[in-house]
Structure 1
Amino acid sequence: MRITVIGAGVTGLSCALELAGAGHEVTVVADHGPGDTVSARAGALWFPYDVTVENAPDLEKRSLIRFVELAGQAEAAQSEGADDVTDDIAPVEMRRGFLRERLDPPDRSWVPTVTEVLGEDAVTEVEREGAQGAERGVETTLPLIMTPTYLAWLMDSCRIAGVAFRWKTVESLDLLVKGAYNTAPPEAVIICGGLRGGELLGGDDEVTPVRGQVIVFANGSDDEDGDGGEDGGPVLTDWYVDDDDPENMTYVFPRVDDIVVGGIAEVSNGNEDPDAETAEAILTRAEALVPALKELPILGHGAGLRPSRSSLRIEQVDTDEVNIPVIAAYGHGGAGVTLSWGTAERVAEMVEQL
């Protein structure tokens, strides 16, 4: 089947790769590449943040299983002597971290998924001494995705699988079906357009931008060996999340070469430029909770808009505009990476049922 996927973020690319792997002829149409999407600004840790999933509750589990598999492949490749993860291996690692809990009772709705996939001992309740006194929460090991290089890996994998790309802004489904964007007429369309997803279906007032902002630190500072350590700043590996207060949330995700630190969750704020006052507040909170950051240089700042919705939308949509099947797959909030593989698998199943 000829299928057009609208959107080249992590959801669009994952869907395209899954569909191509199932034998479909896939074209991705998007107004910009994955490096310019909100996905590229994500941390990203597998964790179902700021999303409500009603019609497909197994998406979290499906994605977790896939990311654990990818992390295992990367670890196996490195154990066989590879200095770095190659283009053939996804940059995903299993990393230990601490999730601070301030609510009573805490929200542990995500825990059953983790223990089902990783075992009953995968999540440990702890109380530890932190930089600001006692911290109550849980420790666990989850997949950490090195987002910019992961998106590049996804796109390369799509190209190898035969996926075609067209860098155009889709103004309407009718024009798309008529071949206005230099594509063959599709037999089905998958909308993974993030914030624009609802526009293409005549308006979806449940889609809301939720602004996030991050600071990117170097993971270790320059020294003679170029790897931090005694002659330079510390190299961090464990992640830290404190997000029970959305206006004062803090997360620290150490990737291989850098550390993504956030953040905020400003509903209906469409400003995609970093704000100096917000950055200062994030920096103050993060350095108080993870003092090692004080020894590391800042590489830059970023901001992005999470495509939030009252609930994730994955369904076939009835539309009078075109006479081919249209499947909506958007509204992932802050869990686009987390739910990407589950979404892709569900979309592929829906296509098979057409």
Structure 2
Amino acid sequence: MTTGLDDEVVVVGGGVVGLTTAVVLAERGRRVRLWTREPVGRTTSAVAGALWWPYRIEPVARARAWALSSLDVYEELAARPAESGVRMVEGVLGETGLDEVAAWAASRLPGLRATTAAEYGGAGLWARLPLIDMPAHLAWLRARLLAAGGAVETRAVAGLAEVDAPVVVNCTGLGARELVPDASVRPVRGQLVVVENPGIRTWTVSTDPVSGEMAYFFPQPGRLVLGGTAEEDAWSAEPDPAVAEAIVRRCAALRPEIAGARVLGHLVGLRPARDAVRLERASLPDGRLLVHNYGHGGAGVTVAWGCAREAASLATR
């Protein structure tokens, strides 16, 4: 490994993918600076659900490998939930059968079983998966990066070529649309409603087989997060009251006690979708090494550690 200034890396993007990539690089001995346009707690990642599952991400085979690599880490972090924000929680994956999971994850997810008709109205699967409290987890990642000698700088960039380091790692998510530029990156808008938890301890993810509408709820510390939507090419970050009402109604159809829960807030996040994740080496115009790590759709937290490890290896010249 090189030393000195040649060993410096700037990671651009302060969401979960950028933070995790910076952590892996710093803990491998690299001098790392993380550039983030918004404070870490105000990135798109901060409003994610966030259940570990490879949702809306391509290519499927690579995404599953990244997800399983990340699962190893989250299972370890779940031993310290108050610190890391990660817990292992049981819940129901609706419209999912054992055969869909057996080929890639069943051996890693003990306790998988089909739901009964009394437990869920359609085909479903009980699973114990990592559920991440994102504000807590992002703060923990930031602290871990600083502890490893990294630095966090709140600054915007107009182009990747202006980043002053021998190696640049692009984890800008939706920002890559302008910075690369890459017009294939597009938003998939997700709206959430946060309510007081009426005593729900398990999560559920459900998709209406006719309309395709989603309903999900995740018990997070001090709140219950309700979702959701997946609106392609929608840029508005403002919550829509009618959409919020529909989300509560769909979730209450699954658990009636949700109907009377007091609303604590509304959240909107724009998932950085792409036909396929871009995780590869490239070059800046002056020949410096550039590593792209973006386009993770709705699965950034699910694949963060697997992608970070691969990106860190690509960032070695």
TM-score for the superposition, normalised by structure 1: 0.82
2:94 equivalent in structure 1: 100
1:230 equivalent in structure 2: none
Partner amino acid for 2:190?
Answer: G
Alpha-carbon distance in 1 for matches of 2:123, 2:207:
13
Kept in 1, the 8 Å contact 2:74–2:130? The answer is yes
How many percent identity over aligned positions?
35
Partner amino acid for 1:32?
Answer: E
Kept in 2, the 8 Å contact 1:91–1:145? The answer is yes
Matches within 5 A, 1:31-46: 31-46=37-52
Kept in 1, the 8 Å contact 2:11–2:170? The answer is yes
Alpha-carbon distance in 1 for matches of 2:89, 2:275:
30
Partner amino acid for 1:116?
Answer: S
Deviation at 1:17, TM superposition (A): 0.6
1:143 equivalent in structure 2: 130
2:285 is the counterpart of 1:324:
no
Partner amino acid for 1:213?
Answer: Q
User: RMSD value over aligned CA atoms?
Assistant: 1.9
Alpha-carbon distance in 1 for matches of 2:213, 2:287:
47
After superposition, what is the alpha-carbon deviation per residue over 1:94-129, rounded to whole angstroms, capped at 9, x for unaligned? 100011118xxx69655544323234xx32122322
Which 5+ residue runs of structure 1 have no aligned equivalent?
Answer: 75-84, 178-185, 220-233
Alpha-carbon distance in 2 for matches of 1:118, 1:35:
30
2:252 is the counterpart of 1:290:
no
2:4 equivalent in structure 1: none
Which protein shows a greater Rg? 1
Alpha-carbon distance in 2 for matches of 1:27, 1:259:
35
Partner amino acid for 1:264?
Answer: T
Kept in 1, the 8 Å contact 2:11–2:171? The answer is yes
1:211 equivalent in structure 2: 189
Kept in 2, the 8 Å contact 1:247–1:264? The answer is no
1:163 equivalent in structure 2: 150
2:108 is the counterpart of 1:117:
yes
2:172 is the counterpart of 1:193:
yes
Kept in 2, the 8 Å contact 1:247–1:265? The answer is no
How many residue pairs get matched? 309
Task: Tell me the secondary structure at the aligned position of residue 18 of structure 1.
Answer: helix
Deviation at 1:164, TM superposition (A): 0.9
Of the structure 1 ranges 260-269 and 284-293, higher mean CA displacement relative to structure 2 is found in 284-293
1:173 equivalent in structure 2: 160
Alpha-carbon distance in 2 for matches of 1:313, 1:239:
31
Task: Tell me the secondary structure at the aligned position of residue 129 of structure 2.
Answer: strand
Alpha-carbon distance in 1 for matches of 2:11, 2:259:
43
Of the structure 1 ranges 289-298 and 255-264, higher mean CA displacement relative to structure 2 is found in 289-298
Kept in 2, the 8 Å contact 1:6–1:28? The answer is yes
Tell me: CA distance 1:111–1:28, structure 2 relative to 1, closer, same or farther (3 Å): farther
Tell me: CA distance 1:125–1:158, structure 2 relative to 1, closer, same or farther (3 Å): same
Deviation at 1:173, TM superposition (A): 2.2
After superposition, what is the alpha-carbon deviation per residue over 1:179-215, rounded to whole angstroms, capped at 9, x for unaligned? xxxxxxx1210000010124222x2122110001000
Kept in 2, the 8 Å contact 1:100–1:138? The answer is yes
Of the structure 1 ranges 165-174 and 37-46, higher mean CA displacement relative to structure 2 is found in 165-174
